[in-house]
Amino acid sequence: MSILSGKFAVITGAASKNGLGKATARLFAEHGATVAILDLDQTAADEAARDLGEQHVGLACNVTDRDACHTAIHTLIERWGQIDILVNNAGITQPVRLLDIEPENYDAVLDVNLRGTLYMSQAVIPHMQTRKSGSIVNISSVSAQRGGGVFGGPHYSAAKAGVLGLTKATARDFAPDNIRANAVCPGFIATDITAGKMTEEMNAKVMAGIPMGRAGKAEEVAGCCLFLASELSSYVTGSEVDVNGGSLIH
């Protein structure tokens, strides 16, 4: 039997073709899960879901909009009867230096990465509580642990560090309900979030800090999400798992 057969998973920000969310959705589907791809654009979400097979669902959902999060989760519970896994993957980043961060930079980056993770968790946890079962995987970043050093500015590091705190608090509060929450901290993974935006100099600096000497692949983050979403990690909660080619070896 496949490791996620009979499981229903919601993944935010999963329509991006080369992104971590889409790779995770594909891997979950390959391991037997039925997946809902949530993203800003309905057509893109539909296309990504169709790509995985006809039982999968695409839904437009802006994670910064609390009502939209609740509506999406309600729609899926009506349709499926259960949600077992939430992956809070939707995120944006900006290479802005600390002294240049404008209120709109702060709001945009904090809202998608941190507020969105909170809102989606708030939408799904009451359902998981009634079932006494659930796994939440939050995508943070090595930027949270190192204070940047890849691409995103200090507001991105702060948002992703906020995700780590939120993850541990979620894990602590809902462990009695058998709901686990863990964070994944990817290093530099080649996706559209930085595509065409890195200068040669930035790229060389990032590579110099990776002992494995290469960027990660979206599938390598997906593998970690699969472990944390599945029963293989049934006693793992409140953890942060590094997927970074050794970038944090001191």
Q: How far is the CB of 36 from ligand NAD (least distance, A)?
A: 12
Count of other CB atoms within 10 angstroms of residue 78: 8
Q: How far is the CB of 242 from ligand NAD (least distance, A)?
A: 11
Angle at 218 between CA 17 and CA 115, to 5 degrees: 80
Residue 210 touching ligand NAD (CB under 6 A): no
Q: What's the one-letter identity of residue 73?
A: I
Checking phi first, is residue 133 left (phi over 0); if not, alpha (psi -120 to 50) or beta? beta
3-state helix, strand, coil in the chain (%, to 5): 50, 15, 35
Among 51, 66, 75, 92, binds ligand NAD (CB under 6 A): 92
Of the candidates 213, 172, 5, the residue with the CA atom closest to the CA atom of residue 203: 213
| Type and span of the H or E element at 104 | helix 103-110
Q: Nearest to ligand NAD by Cβ — which residue?
A: 91
Catalytic residue among 106, 119, 156, 235: 156
Burial of 82 per CB tally in 10 Å (0-12, 13-18, 19+): middle
Is 156 a residue of the active site? yes
* CB of 77 or CB of 193, closer to ligand NAD: 193
Q: How far is the CB of 192 from ligand NAD (least distance, A)?
A: 4
Among 3, 40, 198, 207, binds ligand NAD (CB under 6 A): 40
Residues 125-144 that bind ligand NAD (CB under 6 A): 139, 141
Q: How many residues does the chain have?
A: 250
| Type and span of the H or E element at 51 | helix 42-52
Stretch that binds ligand NAD, among 74-82, 173-181, 183-191, 206-214 (CB under 6 A): 183-191
Residue 222 touching ligand NAD (CB under 6 A): no
Residue 28 touching ligand NAD (CB under 6 A): no
Angle at 157 between CA 151 and CA 160, to 5 degrees: 115
Q: How far is the CB of 190 from ligand NAD (least distance, A)?
A: 7
Q: How far is the CB of 126 from ligand NAD (least distance, A)?
A: 21
Residues that bind ligand NAD (CB under 6 A): 12-13, 15-16, 19-21, 39-40, 62-64, 89-93, 112, 116, 139, 141, 186, 188-189, 191-193
Instruction: Give catalytic residues, as residue numbers.
Output: 156
